[in-house]
Amino acid sequence: MGSAYEVDFLAGVETDVIDLDGRVVLPGFVDAHTHMESTGQYVVHADLSAADSVDDAVETLREDAPDDREWLQGFGWDESDWPEGRYLRKGDLDRVSDERPVVAYRVDMHTATLNSVGLDRLREALPEDDVEFEDGDPTGVVVEDAVGVVREAVGDDVAETRDLVTAARDRALELGVTCVHEKVRDSYAPRVYRELDRAGELDLRVRIDYWSDHLDAVLETGLRTNYGGGLVDVGGIKSFTDGSFGGRTAKVTEPYAGADPADRDDDGRGQWVVDPDDFSELVERVDDAGLQMVTHAIGDEAVDLVVECYAATDDPGAARHRIEHVELFDDEHAERMADAGMVASCQPNFLQWAGEGGLYDQRLGETRRRRSNRYRDLLDAGVPLAFGSDSMPLGPLAGVHHAVHAPDERQRLTVTEALRAYTLGGAYAGFDEDRLGTVEEGKRADLVVLERSPWEDDHEIRDIDVAATVVDGDVVYDTLDGTNT
Ligand SMILES: [Zn+2]
């Protein structure tokens, strides 16, 4: 950066010169919401995200689930486009194995299906409210806390965590992601990131948001938001309020489409995952401790709760308290977020479910589907906007593509706006805007080189290949073959 005349003096024995031959250089992508172990699980275990039917998912599990672990595991099924239009069930997974435990997690990770062996093994430990029954028989489908019980039972040790994290790291670098804001709970990942960093093998910036379960430990060990300054940083405290649209557990003010209020104890309007009073106390405690708050809120009633609790803190803008997802909200929420400086951390890849007949349509109906994920309205209101993937899956250019081609104009961004949310927007959410997020003098050299310009033919954005990724001045991924180096 700077004048070509000055830069020319740098060419010499200590400088590598790489001719990019007209390719496009952008700031490295900041993915503001990741679960890297989950990304790694797709690489290491059976990836069910491309399965287009129940049979296809069963077949993929049979073929791709590695045999050297106790449980056979698959990740990422999504029934919303399947001809059967239903969840995977116990009987489907019994076709994968009737001797070994099998689990297949839905794409949102709030729902999972067990086979009969898996279900029998965990039956005692599963909270009954989160186990689905039909005619008195469990269907194999479990949600929310029961999914947590399954994950704990399957269990990852340090070596497995390292396998998952390094597989995810490699995937991130291939996609041009140079920094992730990583949400962790009861995991060896923070230890593994620091071990990799110490060994000089991390090659990726990781900002760790610790689950609220760890708040006492964070305070006892004296961790502070933004402590770090190298590759590994301390982020904030992550909490939930509601669930997801997929599981009909996001908290909405109007009932779900086709909901029969008599069916459930929640009036068909979703459920709190964290009790609102407990959440309110948590925000106060986190804010008083000088830590950043990072809260999952999807439905409009959940967004309302978070805005209310954040607004009650001293200076939510200075603390950069964040709302993750913000999928359904009112204009008033956007205004209050903008006025107070609360950060919206959104996932434009979710727009893939916002088309006609898609998941948002099925769960919320036409009007609310079109009002979901309104990035245009957030930006116009002046809300700081950060983009991420929620590891569903990683892919900044896919996210940019969806934001640029969103079904409704209230959701749609220009190429530049979408790229900015995926670079500088994420940097801002992590207090890193003076160090990351743009290509300019004085900032760290986190860069991505694209084979083609996303501005030239915007219909192809998601198909553009990454030619190289640079983190902190080191080329950590490239397909340049050395021919023009
Ligand atoms: Zn998440």
CA of 390 to the centre of ligand 1 (A): 5
3-state secondary structure 349-366: HHHHHCCCCCHHHHHHHH
pLDDT of residue 473: 94
Structure tokens at 22: 């007209």
485: confidence class by pLDDT, cuts 50, 70, 90: very low
CA of 33 to the centre of ligand 1 (A): 6
CA of 146 to the centre of ligand 1 (A): 17
For residue 298, what is the domain's CATH number? 3.20.20.140
Closest CA to 145 of 133, 153, 136: 153
CA of 42 to the centre of ligand 1 (A): 15
The mean per-residue pLDDT over the stretch 196-225 comes to 97
**How close are the terminal C-alpha atoms of the chain, in Å?**
19
CA of 39 to the centre of ligand 1 (A): 11
CA of 135 to the centre of ligand 1 (A): 33
Query: Is 418 in contact with 396 (CB distance < 8 Å)?
Result: no
Per-residue buried b or exposed e for 387-419, using 16+ beta carbons within 10 Å of the residue's own CB: bbbbbbbbbbbbbbbbbbbbbbebbbbebebbb
Query: Over pLDDT 70: what percentage of the chain?
Result: 97
3-state secondary structure 164-203: HHHHHHHHHHHCCEEEEEEEECCCCHHHHHHHHHHCCCCC
CA of 3 to the centre of ligand 1 (A): 42
481 pLDDT higher than 80: no
Distance CA 187, CA 152 (A): 10
pLDDT tens by residue, 151-173: 989 988 899 999 999 999 999 99
Residues 368 and 401 in one domain: yes
Residues 52 and 191 in one domain: no
CA of 442 to the centre of ligand 1 (A): 32
pLDDT of residue 260: 63
pLDDT tens by residue, 277-291: 999 999 999 999 999
Structure tokens at 284: 């106060």
Residues 196 and 285 in one domain: yes
pLDDT tens by residue, 29-77: 999 999 999 899 999 999 999 999 999 999 999 999 998 889 999 999 9
Residues 134 and 165 in one domain: no
Distance CA 357, CA 362 (A): 6
> Structurally, how many domains does the chain consist of?
2
CA of 324 to the centre of ligand 1 (A): 8
pLDDT of residue 278: 98
Residues 265 and 360 in one domain: yes
Determine the structural domain holding residue 139 and report its residue range: 36-153
CA of 144 to the centre of ligand 1 (A): 13
In a domain, 340, yes or no: yes
Residues 186 and 236 in one domain: yes
Per-residue buried b or exposed e for 75-102, using 16+ beta carbons within 10 Å of the residue's own CB: bbbbbbebeeeebbbbebbbebbeeebb
Query: Is 388 in contact with 426 (CB distance < 8 Å)?
Result: yes
pLDDT of residue 12: 81
Residues 69 and 167 in one domain: no
Structure tokens at 330: 């009112």
pLDDT of residue 484: 46
Q: What angle do CA 196, 201, 207 make, to 5 degrees?
A: 60
Task: Give the CA-trace dihedral at 370, 375, 377, 383, to 10 degrees.
Answer: 150
- H or E element that contains 346: strand 343-346
